[in-house]
Amino acid sequence: MKKILVVDDHADIRKLVRMTLELEDYEVRELGDGPAAVRAAGEWLPDLVLLDVMMPGDYDGLEACRRLKAAGARPLVMLLSARGQALDREAGLVAGADAYLVKPFSPLQLLDSIAALWRPA
């Protein structure tokens, strides 16, 4: 079973994403900020981190992505953001994200985007 860490400062978004993923038999954990995500990824070793870009606190999702990619576990990272301009997507890729999904998205879009990450190239 693949493990997915959902990181968003809005509990209702985390809940909806978790419920969608659990229907597909993923093991899911939720967190509300970037520093907690980086710590948890090093301990839990998720296959994928779904990471909100705009989060308050010590650092945002872009910085959390950079730190996750620099860490030894190296999970796949999909950034989730309401910012969908080309510059926003580019910033995500520069930070090391493997994918970028613009909010709002449907459960089917989320599942398709995740499945695409694990398809052979």
Q: For 7-54, what is each residue's pLDDT tens digit?
A: 999 999 999 999 999 999 999 999 999 999 999 998 999 999 999 999
Radius of gyration in angstroms for the set of CA atoms belonging to the chain, rounded to a whole number: 13
Residue 39 DSSP SS3? helix
Res 73: pLDDT: 58
Domain count, the chain: 1
118, part of any domain: no
User: Per the confidence metrics, is the pTM higher than 0.85?
Assistant: yes
71, part of any domain: yes
Assign 101 a pLDDT band (cuts: 50, 70, 90).
very high
* Calpha distance 91→5 (Å, rounded): 21
Res 72: pLDDT: 64
Nearest partner of 21 among 119, 116, 114, 97, judged by Cα? 114
Structural domain range at position 88: 3-113
* Calpha distance 97→10 (Å, rounded): 21
**The domain spanning residue 67 has which CATH number?**
3.40.50.2300
